[in-house]
């Protein structure tokens, strides 16, 4: 499979990330074609007021990837903003999805409630699942390691791929989710991890 996944540059890695990185390493070592990136543009959707943390977080995350055994000889490691085509494809995909469809994504409502202390009234926050779709489809990934809370995002990616392929020509495969070993952290641990990351 061609695998793609990334982590947002919003702070230091925590226990949840370590568990995810173990899954990534296994996918890499099993001979899949693997792409792992730092999602620095995604960080702006919730942390635009703290953009000063993104550069250092990006470096810390790459170090974390390497320390966990993500091998640049076996996997492609990159920073999202270094590949400008992500933004171009994101713009094109935004023409294929309605506002009402994005507002129905459960994590949109959940994050707005959980991050009530942040200004999330931006088009960037509403459309971040479209940017995530561009991240996935630009590499024609067929597998995306995710937790249960991200399944709706992968379904949106599949919908956008189908819509593009039907309107224009068959270009993008529909990606499949690969559920991580721990599909959702226990709520108490998740809160602690998010506080450690500076999300809450």
Question: For residue 177, is it within any domain?
Answer: yes
Question: For residue 200, is it within any domain?
Answer: no
Alpha carbon distance 93, 89 (integer Å):
6
Predicted local distance difference test score (pLDDT) of residue 150: 86
Question: For residue 167, is it within any domain?
Answer: yes
Predicted local distance difference test score (pLDDT) of residue 188: 43
55 closest CA partner among 74, 83, 81: 81
DSSP code of 174? P
Domain count, the chain: 1
Predicted local distance difference test score (pLDDT) of residue 145: 94
Question: For residue 198, is it within any domain?
Answer: no
Average pLDDT, the chain: 87
What are the tens digits of pLDDT across the range 135-184? Answer: 999 999 999 999 888 899 999 999 999 999 999 999 999 999 998 876 66
Intervals of the chain under pLDDT 50: 187-200
Full residue range of the structural domain in which residue 160 is found: 2-188
Question: For residue 194, is it within any domain?
Answer: no
Predicted local distance difference test score (pLDDT) of residue 175: 98
Question: For residue 132, is it within any domain?
Answer: yes
Contacts of 107 (CB under 8 A, 6+ apart): 149, 150, 152, 153
Predicted local distance difference test score (pLDDT) of residue 185: 54
Q: How far is CA 153 from CA 150, 161, 191, in A?
A: 5, 12, 22
Question: For residue 51, is it within any domain?
Answer: yes
Predicted local distance difference test score (pLDDT) of residue 187: 47
Question: For residue 197, is it within any domain?
Answer: no
What are the tens digits of pLDDT across the range 98-107? Answer: 999 999 988 7
CATH number of the domain enclosing 9 = 3.40.50.620
65 closest CA partner among 9, 115, 107: 9
What predicted TM-score, i.e. pTM, was given to this entire model? 0.86
């Amino acid at each position: 499979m061609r695998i793609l996944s990334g982590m947002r540059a919003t702070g230091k890695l925590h226990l949840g990330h370590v568990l995810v990185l173990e899954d990534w390493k296994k996918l890499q070592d099993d001979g899949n074609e693997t792409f792992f990136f730092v999602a620095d543009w995604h960080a702006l959707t919730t942390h635009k007021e703290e953009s000063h943390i993104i550069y250092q977080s990006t470096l810390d995350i790459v170090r974390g990837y390497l320390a966990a055994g993500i091998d640049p000889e076996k996997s492609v490691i990159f920073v999202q903003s270094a590949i400008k085509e992500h933004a171009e494809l994101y713009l094109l995909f935004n023409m294929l999805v309605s506002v009402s469809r994005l507002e129905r994504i459960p994590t949109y409502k959940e994050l707005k409630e959980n991050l009530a202390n942040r200004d999330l009234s931006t088009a960037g926050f509403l459309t971040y699942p479209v940017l995530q779709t561009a991240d996935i489809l630009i590499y024609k990934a067929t597998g995306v390691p995710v937790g249960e809370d991200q399944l709706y995002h992968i379904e949106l990616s599949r919908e956008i791929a189908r819509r593009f392929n039907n309107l224009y020509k068959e270009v993008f495969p529909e990606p499949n989710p690969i559920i991580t070993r721990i599909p959702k952290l226990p709520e108490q641990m998740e809160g602690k991890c998010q506080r450690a990351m500076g999300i809450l």
